[in-house]
Structure 1
Amino acid sequence: MKNLVKALKRCAVAGAAALAVVSLQPVSNAQAAPAPVVGGTRAAQGEFPFMVRLSMGCGGSLLTQQIVLTAAHCVSGSGNNTSITATAGVVDLQNTSGRVQVRSTKVLQAPGYNGTGKDWALIKLASPITTQATLKIATTTQYNTGTFTVAGWGSASEGGAQQRYLLKATVPFVSDATCRSYSGYSGLVASEEICAGFTAGGVDTCQGDSGGPMFRRDAAGAWIQVGIVSWGIGCARPNAPGVYSEVSTFASAITAAAATL
């Protein structure tokens, strides 16, 4: 039951768009990620130009103009894959003005991914999205504390519908020790995952937000990605933070893998 709840927390349910505190992983996956915006507000057009919506019901970010970084649990494996459509350039998914949609050509799921940790994947697009900015990834733990921004089109409440508009929210860092002390979080892989959320709940990622970025400003004031929406217990519940893949841990592997696509 715990894994099922986690899966529902971050994965998208068909026909629903979640930005809440549940996992962003597909419901078929055993482990799910938190959706970014239960308790969130609508993002402005162009505010986060690196955000991508994926047709399987997950989020992602533009690592390069032709490669999307998302969660491993959002894809079924590695290899040629033309079944995924990436949507970028708009906060309103129904707005055709400025919207860019590109099909996938290849998918690379994190080597060794088995449902616990290593929750990252890359999707190569058929053509580059040249009109949108990319999001650099953290290569050290320097930015793995403080307050983070999350965003997505996932559920805005646990079990709710997926959203038409991109929502955003801010969540504070939660230490590994504190995160592990909560019910259902003893399996946290501290070396590969990072927690964020409020003790009282109310703000979180949710179903449909899986694979989306958790990011903050770096020393130069630029956005930098520190996490990937992975899983959580429900959405925005008290004492149940969102869990994100720790990007800095996998930065070298992600960069090397991207070079092979």
Structure 2
Amino acid sequence: MTQTPNFSMAYLTTDNCGSAPISVAGTRIVNGSDASAEEYPYQVLVLPVVQGRVGICGGSIIKKRWILTAAHCFFDRSGNKASSVFVRVGSFKQSEGTLVAVQRFILHETYVSTDQGDDIALIELAQDLTFSSSVQPICLGQEADIPFGGKAVATGWGDLQFDITGTSELPETLQEVVLDVITIAACSPLVGLPIDTNKVICTLTPYKDACQGDSGGPLVAKLCEGRWAQVGIVSYGFECARPNNPGVYTRVSNYITWINTNTGSTAC
């Protein structure tokens, strides 16, 4: 009996989305590896300005004028909201690439705190990006693309280990790490989750994790035909890389309608 081919269900933000040449080099972001030039062309550095201080988060290019990131990136620990934000694109080095002007940022209207879910935001750039080998969009993962029991890749310029003081030196080179995606049933006894668990996914790989400064960055999975799709947004966890503490990510598939509504259309 013939079977129907298992084609990916990823939402294609543009025809060439998800064509990143990802090849994770190591097994050791916390305990990650240096990324290579142009390996993650959808990755951007998000620099929110709160009370005159510049923070650091990650983000991803999803359309020529739109960046996907986390809502909590726009607040400091005291709850003060960002007055502006800058975005740097086109480089795997934190201090390189192009600083792009931002027109506005949109936070999910029901976001209150990370552990209640809806930790998602959009940044509209002042003008369209020019796509190149170092600037490319990522596809948005649908529910069927989440590799429960499998692997996904997180990237960012965050701390290499948990630092309660917030004074550690951040890496200049983008870090990459392969993580195990676990089920909600396995995750919920280990960390507080939103009441609606469809809003999140979890990873748990002993001594490997995203960390402070990686927030808002992408968690991506490889699809059947070789594309990559973003299935998660770095949201929260307990410290970093503790062996029995999962990392929690905003589940992108739950917000595709919200993303399309706020970016104006489903067109490329």
Instruction: Say whether the fold is shared (TM-score over 0.5).
Output: yes
The amino acid of 1:147's aligned partner reads: K
- Looking at structure 2, the residues matched to 71 and 127 of structure 1 have their Cα atoms a distance apart, in angstroms, of 21
Specify the alignment match of 2:154 in structure 1.
150
**Alpha-carbon shift at residue 136 of structure 1 (Å):** 1.0
Superposed counterparts of 1:87-236, under 5 Å: 87-95=88-96, 99-115=97-113, 116-130=116-130, 131=132, 132-145=135-148, 146-159=150-163, 160-182=168-190, 184-185=191-192, 187=194, 189-198=196-205, 201-236=206-241
**Alpha-carbon shift at residue 187 of structure 1 (Å):** 4.9
**Alpha-carbon shift at residue 209 of structure 1 (Å):** 0.5
**TM-aligned CA distance change 1:64 to 1:186, over 3 Å:** closer
**Alpha-carbon shift at residue 65 of structure 1 (Å):** 1.8
Are the equivalent residues in 1 in contact too, given 2:69–2:216 (CA < 8 A)? yes
Alignment length (residue pairs): 214
**Alpha-carbon shift at residue 154 of structure 1 (Å):** 0.4
Task: Provide the secondary structure at the position in 2 that maps to 1:86.
Answer: strand
The amino acid of 2:120's aligned partner reads: W
- Looking at structure 1, the residues matched to 83 and 39 of structure 2 have their Cα atoms a distance apart, in angstroms, of 29
Are the equivalent residues in 2 in contact too, given 1:152–1:212 (CA < 8 A)? yes
- Looking at structure 2, the residues matched to 154 and 188 of structure 1 have their Cα atoms a distance apart, in angstroms, of 28
- Looking at structure 2, the residues matched to 204 and 253 of structure 1 have their Cα atoms a distance apart, in angstroms, of 28
Task: Provide the secondary structure at the position in 1 that maps to 2:101.
Answer: strand
**Alpha-carbon shift at residue 74 of structure 1 (Å):** 1.2
**Alpha-carbon shift at residue 142 of structure 1 (Å):** 3.2
- Normalising to structure 1: TM-score of the pair? 0.78
- Looking at structure 1, the residues matched to 213 and 156 of structure 2 have their Cα atoms a distance apart, in angstroms, of 8
- Which sections of structure 1, spanning at least 5 residues, go unmatched? 1-36
- Looking at structure 2, the residues matched to 109 and 253 of structure 1 have their Cα atoms a distance apart, in angstroms, of 11
The amino acid of 1:190's aligned partner reads: T
Residues 1:52 and 2:53 aligned together: no
The structure having more radius of gyration, on CA atoms, is 2
Superposed counterparts of 1:25-104, under 5 Å: 37-56=29-48, 57-75=56-74, 83-95=84-96, 99-104=97-102
**Alpha-carbon shift at residue 82 of structure 1 (Å):** 7.6
Task: Using the aligned pairs only, state the percent identity.
Answer: 31
**Alpha-carbon shift at residue 140 of structure 1 (Å):** 2.8
- Looking at structure 1, the residues matched to 83 and 197 of structure 2 have their Cα atoms a distance apart, in angstroms, of 34
Bigger shift: 57-66 or 131-140? 131-140
Specify the alignment match of 1:30 in structure 2.
none
- Using CA pairs below 8 Å that are at least 6 residues apart, which structure has the higher relative contact order? 1
- Normalising to structure 2: TM-score of the pair? 0.76
**Alpha-carbon shift at residue 72 of structure 1 (Å):** 1.0
- Looking at structure 1, the residues matched to 70 and 217 of structure 2 have their Cα atoms a distance apart, in angstroms, of 8
Are the equivalent residues in 2 in contact too, given 1:82–1:104 (CA < 8 A)? no
